[in-house]
Chain A
Amino acid sequence: MAAQTRPKRPIRWHIAVFLAPAVLVYTAIMILPLAGTLQLSLFRNINQSQVFVGMDNFRTLFGDPNWSAGFWNALRNNVWFFIIHMLVQNPIGVLLAALLSSPRLRFAAFYRTAIFVPTILSFVIVGFAWKLILSPLWGVSPHLLDLVGLKSLFTPWLGKEQYALTALSLVSVWQFIGIPMMLIYAALLSIPDEVIEAAECDGVTGMAQFWKIKLPLILPSIGIISILTFVGNFNAFDLIYTAQGALAGPNYSTDILGTFLYRAFFGFQLQIGDPNMGAAIATMMFLIILAGVCVYLFLIQTRLRRYQF
């Protein structure tokens, strides 16, 4: 056998076999529904039957002021929701991770766990708990502010158009702060001691060490966190729904794409659901997220320098 001429490389079946389970599961529960949604957005229910209407649903979504005003409002709110996360959640996450990785900190494991716990709580619990905490009637927040003499600062945040969305964004930050913290913490731990020692030999210590040595090394992790935040925020729905209801009051000021989609797709109260328009909105959400991820992958990630140790 060995003496024969070397045959063509055999087809490497094992690759297909090993990939198959993941591909099949992913196709069945992700790709097919996604394709179904895209397809649904091109049809419309006319006299109880689905009729192909091309881009008509999108024309309605952007052309009809009743729809487009709602859509742009939701998108604007969603962008603000994302900005708050980027400005508050990620810097605080980095800060917490830096503190946690400090060798002189005691009870680090306790803090780590305590800060991570909200992330594993259900949205329903978070939504209701914060609704109660911020309640002007029975909540602890007016009382706590009163104790430090700042009662005048209290307003019913969740009921005020100008504050509600920011308040909910901060609740969401509170809930998810554990994720950037953990990822950055892991990145900080993986920086080899030699690098730090070399920096110390060169006289780079303290804050300068963080800015010049550690931060560049954890930048790829921050990139990943940003993109996770982006995807998570533009898919968000649960917190707004549990805290403010499907109409995302007051006056739609907390309406984000998720709640807008929910109302269109499933309907609400007397409003009858319209799966086709809902699918059109879902398609737009998909495209927005896709665009964001592409920007990250092609423009940012390729420029991030990686260090091999």
Chain B
Amino acid sequence: MESLFEQSSLFLQQLVNGITLGGVYALIAVGYTMVYGVIQLINFAHGEIYMLGAFLAYTMVTVLGLPFFAAFALTLVICAVFGILLDLIAYRPLRNAPRLAALITAIGMSIFLQNLALMIWGSQIKSYPREVLPPVFSKAAWTFGEVSLSWLQVFILSVTVVFMILLHLIIHKTRIGTAMRAVSQDKTTSALMGIGVNRVISFTFAIGSAMGGMAGILVGLYYNAIFPTMGYIAGIKAFAAAVLGGIGSVPGAMLGGGVLGIAEVIGAGYISSEYRDGISYAVMIAVILFKPSGLIGRQIGEKV
């Protein structure tokens, strides 16, 4: 730890780790932020969809013996359907109920799904078999002194970026995207303008859940560990990322995820690894208190 060179390569390496983690947070955060943008609900069960994504792919690979990339694609589809069902069963009936009721339902769903997974898969940590990915993924893609970037990290980051760009295009260049933006501005007026509001909401849930499920698989690969309670902490952190970036904004989620990932890794590496999770909570509370609109979010006023 003596030389400046070593110090800076340590920092660079932590930065690389942080950005990878941040990419994953961003993928989960997108689900929160889009749903919140459209129906103003913190979908607490979103973290569980992330967890289910990881487990579904795991089951497909180990039990059904599907090739990894097929399992990957299939998981995205199932998670999307799952998101739609979640909305249909749990949230839609409460659309006009007090917000407290919807929030409690969201928490209830989260707890329910988490324990369902506990019953199905057990509480022990599971790992994807090593063979699922071509061996090249564990090799370094790029090395500079002590700093290295593995192909897996490259894979995670590029998947994140590609899907984010895709999402941005969907929201801003397609009809359904325009409809989503309209619904998030004003549901009633959108309905009057002939937009199928429920269809738009379902679509939002589908996209967000697919991204969440994908994040679950990527994390499972990256850390080699999936377990039923993984969605609980990751979900809250991703929500913190969404708030940090500005809730309702997709680029905001990306930025928030990146910043939070780096803050967490640097904090764990330099300040205190015991308080690592505390860093995200503290960031979240501070942002909510002092700048509730987030880094690049739009101002949200209480609708009267």
Same complex origin of A and B: no
B contact set with A: CB distance below 8 Å: none
Binding site for B on A (CB under 8 A): none
